[in-house]
Structure 1
């Protein structure tokens, strides 16, 4: 292989293969993913530090393949749901959501509260499914939203039960942090005020996979108001049953 087709990564770790067109496409997708409104070709080019002519063919290809949607009147580009669709084709995620949706719906109907299902996504907690409250008032979390692993109750449960929920289940934990995770494992769940909205109490149970480790976490963001006809104790019981039912659906 000629030296012109491959470089070397900093530090000499190995070859770095440059694919300019792919880099441009990924840069464009990442920029648009962080925007609520559409962007023009000129705006996208500025954001990815390239000229409009350099990204024209990439934009055209992404639109043709269904990853981008272009508004005909304004010419603004937005992300389509194509990436969302691809993510949900992944077999583990399909199996998880398939096992979870019916129990989650029953949980919401029984408690009058919304609930959501989250997984670890590298170093973040990502919401992959949700059942909205049937009541007139409730709290919902957007599917696809990500949150801190360290600062959320959901992240704490996922960490506590990672790898089977034993002493080695909290990889990377140390000192007092390991003590907190051990306490969660002993109780089997976590209930505490939401890190962002103190008026909400997060009730979180692990969803265990066939290996015995946490495949996901089931969270009820409990809203204690006059609209809450079901007390917190019954919400805990219902959430525990739903998590066990989802775990059974995964083959535990």
Structure 2
């Protein structure tokens, strides 16, 4: 028997199935429709629906024959601020990746027209390059900015481009050409490219994805190559370390 099967909670599965179904139904569903959609009998769902209504996660329409998702789940989610949640998950993994990769790492998010460094850790040892937390960086000329824009819906992408406030030294690119470049970056899955702001640095940037596949943050390493005899992880090794860290942060945030 698989471990995941051994510890399953069938009643909880049924309740979550109902919540997920109702979340995708704007007008609500009656018991027969819920039973049909979940391939269960109305009797199987009755007690679960009754409990969800009693606990306030589901409400009945005024007529009483249809069920709709309430806003209680949203209230619960808002009790734990999203940005703090991202940092709580990301920062321990960022510290670990800096030690393993022997490089610095930073986390960037989109905030009201700016690309903001919300967390930053320096590499261990003598050699390091990192941005201060709170720094505002470019959209067009940074791996973080480009990755954040690449992994968005077309509408959100346009909002970011048109709402972005240029920083010192940054030049805007022609919109159509930039969008085409972002599509290539998205297909690749990450950015591994020479820094657009300083020489001698390769930006390794991966998106932190939400359940819909949109980037809620960008994890970036400003990679510096060692040219002496010290056996530091190379660009390929650090890229893989970054990929795993970004995927794990996203897994913990999205729950999948």
TM range (shorter): 0.5 to 0.7
Are 2:141 and 2:197, in contact at CA under 8 Å, matched by a contact in 1? no
> Which of 149, 168, 171 lines up with 2:158 in the alignment?
171
What's 1:101 paired with?
A: 91
Determine which of 205, 210, 233 is the counterpart of 1:230: 233
Q: Which runs of 5+ in 1 are unaligned?
A: 1-88
For residues 167-225 of structure 1, give each alpha carbon's deviation from its aligned partner in whole angstroms, at most 9, with x where no partner exists. 66632564221211011111100011112212111100000113321010000000112
Matched, 1:115 2:105: yes
Question: Do residues 239 (structure 1) and 229 (structure 2) align?
Answer: no
Counterpart Cα distance in 2 of 1:169 and 1:212: 13
C-alpha distance in structure 1 between counterparts of 2:190 and 2:157, whole Å:
14
Specify whether residues 245 and 152 from structure 1 end up closer, same or farther in structure 2 by C-alpha distance, changes over 3 A only: same
Q: 1:202 to 1:228 in 2, by over 3 A?
A: farther
Q: Any idea what SS the aligned residue of 2:118 has?
A: strand
**Distance change >3 Å, CA 247–CA 223, structure 1 → 2:** same
CA distance in 2, matches of 1:169, 1:222: 29
Aligned ranges 1:137-152 → 2 under 5 Å: 137-152=127-142
How does the TM-score come out when normalised to structure 2? 0.59
Alignment of 1:129-208 (within 5 A): 129-163=119-153, 170-171=157-158, 174-208=175-209
TM-score normalised by structure 1 residue count: 0.60
Residue segments in structure 2 that go unaligned for 5+ positions in a row: 1-78, 162-174
Measure, in 1, the Cα distance between the counterparts of 2:156 and 2:194: 24
Partner residue, 1:19: none
The aligned residue for residue 128 of structure 1 is: 118
Deviations 1:68-126 (A, max 9, x none): xxxxxxxxxxxxxxxxxxxxx98111000011011111111111001000001122210
Structure 1 CA distance for aligned equivalents of residues 205 and 155 of structure 2:
20
Measured after TM superposition, the shift of residue 140 of structure 1 is 1.4
After superposition, residues 19-58 of structure 1 pair within 5 angstroms as: none
Contact 1:112 1:228 in 2 (8 A): no
1-structure distance, mates of 2:85, 2:240: 24
- Distance apart, 1:243 and its partner CA: 0.2
Q: Number of aligned residue pairs: give it.
A: 161
Match of 1:248 among 243, 248, 251: 251
CA separation in 1, counterparts of 2:195 and 2:80? Answer: 30
Question: Is contact 1:126-1:144 (8 Å) kept?
Answer: yes
